[in-house]
Homo-oligomer: A and B are copies of this chain.
């Protein structure tokens, strides 16, 4: 089975490409490498020293004998996208190829427009290319739990059965995204849903929670295969950043009260979920939505867990509540469903202390590479 991983040089994309390759899929990687370019322009860097993509791919071949076909190019370029699909003939396309940071999208107008146009055009191009040259191919799109926002009702998987004035319908779950980035993902979902309807495309939207961790079975095999770990204010996410802060003796920076509750998952579950989605394809015309997270925590919960695990490792961990740069509720109802991927066989890794421990150890191992200037938030939603 042939799978094309768009954004296969990124945090989730690289881990997914290796996982699928190890499980016997024929994997191609498409990436524009623009994320590495953005790191340069923003003066930020991953905690872990990642190798260039060509070296990564070569090392994987040396270790496993397995080829990762590599195409450098941008899916916002339609001729490129169409020719890659026509030549590779994938059975499934996994689409991580988007600008995926909320703060990046909120820097200024340019970044908002860049994020939305980049994500929207790339996804439209994939839809048209699948329709035109890759009929039957299953699109697996990485979405985000952030599309739902924090409604005062339980969050279901993509759809909600609504009763109103004596009638009933199963409708798309109402969306309340909280940044221009999250909005771009909602736009994509609507576009994909429509394409499934008119062209009988088959698509799965994986509304992913916040991913933590860095090690997977495959990336752990060699330092040249190491995955990126972002801790900066733009691309870093809560738990990963907290571990890096703990490792260097920086107070954990909780935004506001810290009651913001979200779904989280281990990166090893990300790669497992994507494989489950591919192995159990959506039907023609079906726009299927899975909520891809394993546990819910508040941001303060996470900080307390890191503090405890850090103390056991002999680190001195403080927690700071800093002004929240975002516009979001800091205390709210949050109860989201995540049963569909479990039904397909997902065996979740839980955020146990042992796991936190290993993430903290990676942070300690590379702490000399930390640039403290990257940590504190400077991008404010209200400006």
Report A's interface with B, CB cutoff 8 A: 78, 109, 112-113, 116-117, 120-121, 124-125, 128, 131, 151-154, 156, 160, 162-165, 167-169, 171-180, 183, 186-187, 190-191, 194, 197-199, 327, 333, 381-383
- In the complex, how many angstroms separate the beta carbon of A83 from the nearest chain B beta carbon? 14
- In the complex, how many angstroms separate the beta carbon of A175 from the nearest chain B beta carbon? 7
Contact check, B174 vs A190: say whether CB atoms are below 8 A apart: no
**Which of A78, A131, A183 has the largest count of B CB atoms less than 10 A from its CB?**
A183
Contact check, B152 vs A168: say whether CB atoms are below 8 A apart: yes
**Known contacts A109-B78, A162-B174, A183-B194; is A153 also within 8 Å of B167 by CB?**
yes
Please measure, in the bound complex, the distance between the C-alpha atom of A177 and the C-alpha atom of B131, giving whole angstroms.
Answer: 19
**Known contacts A153-B168, A169-B152, A183-B190; is A116 also within 8 Å of B109 by CB?**
no
Contact check, A171 vs B167: say whether CB atoms are below 8 A apart: no
Please measure, in the bound complex, the distance between the C-alpha atom of A111 and the C-alpha atom of B180, giving whole angstroms.
Answer: 24
Q: Which residues of B contact A179 (CB under 8 A)?
A: 194
Return the contact of A113 from the options B124, B167, B180 (Cβ within 8 A): B124
Return the contact of A171 from the options B116, B168, B174 (Cβ within 8 A): B174
Q: Which residues of B contact A187 (CB under 8 A)?
A: 116, 120, 183, 186-187, 190
User: Closest residue to A156 on the B side, CB-wise?
Assistant: B164
Q: Which residues of B contact A109 (CB under 8 A)?
A: 78, 124-125, 128
Return the contact of A162 from the options B112, B160, B168, B177 (Cβ within 8 A): B160
Instruction: Provide a sorted-by-A list of 22 A–B residue pairs whose CB atoms are within 8 angstroms.
Output: A109-B128, A116-B121, A117-B117, A131-B383, A151-B169, A153-B162, A153-B169, A154-B165, A160-B162, A162-B162, A162-B174, A167-B333, A172-B176, A173-B174, A174-B174, A178-B194, A179-B194, A183-B190, A186-B190, A198-B381, A198-B382, A199-B383
Return the contact of A175 from the options B169, B177, B190 (Cβ within 8 A): B190
Please measure, in the bound complex, the distance between the C-alpha atom of A249 and the C-alpha atom of B298, giving whole angstroms.
Answer: 68
Contact check, B154 vs A167: say whether CB atoms are below 8 A apart: yes
Sort A-B residue pairs by CB-CB distance and give the 9 closest, nearest first. A152-B169, A171-B174, A153-B164, A109-B128, A187-B187, A198-B327, A153-B167, A172-B174, A154-B165
- Specify the main secondary structure of chain A where it touches its partner: mixed
Return the contact of A160 from the options B174, B177, B383 (Cβ within 8 A): B174
Contact check, A177 vs B190: say whether CB atoms are below 8 A apart: yes
Contact check, B112 vs A124: say whether CB atoms are below 8 A apart: yes
Q: Which residues of B contact A178 (CB under 8 A)?
A: 194
- In the complex, how many angstroms separate the beta carbon of A296 from the nearest chain B beta carbon? 16
Q: Which residues of B contact A174 (CB under 8 A)?
A: 160, 162, 171-174
- In the complex, how many angstroms separate the beta carbon of A80 from the nearest chain B beta carbon? 13
Return the contact of A199 from the options B78, B113, B183, B382 (Cβ within 8 A): B382
Q: Which residues of B contact A171 (CB under 8 A)?
A: 151, 153, 174, 176
**Which of A164, A175, A177 has the largest count of B CB atoms less than 10 A from its CB?**
A164
User: Closest residue to A380 on the B side, CB-wise?
Assistant: B198
Please measure, in the bound complex, the distance between the C-alpha atom of A120 and the C-alpha atom of B370, giving whole angstroms.
Answer: 38
- In the complex, how many angstroms separate the beta carbon of A114 from the nearest chain B beta carbon? 10
Q: Which residues of B contact A190 (CB under 8 A)?
A: 175, 177, 183, 186-187
- In the complex, how many angstroms separate the beta carbon of A328 from the nearest chain B beta carbon? 10
User: Closest residue to A382 on the B side, CB-wise?
Assistant: B198
Please measure, in the bound complex, the distance between the C-alpha atom of A116 and the C-alpha atom of B128, giving whole angstroms.
Answer: 14
Please measure, in the bound complex, the distance between the C-alpha atom of A266 and the C-alpha atom of B152, giving whole angstroms.
Answer: 39
- In the complex, how many angstroms separate the beta carbon of A267 from the nearest chain B beta carbon? 29
- In the complex, how many angstroms separate the beta carbon of A121 from the nearest chain B beta carbon? 6
Please measure, in the bound complex, the distance between the C-alpha atom of A325 and the C-alpha atom of B124, giving whole angstroms.
Answer: 21
- In the complex, how many angstroms separate the beta carbon of A268 from the nearest chain B beta carbon? 31
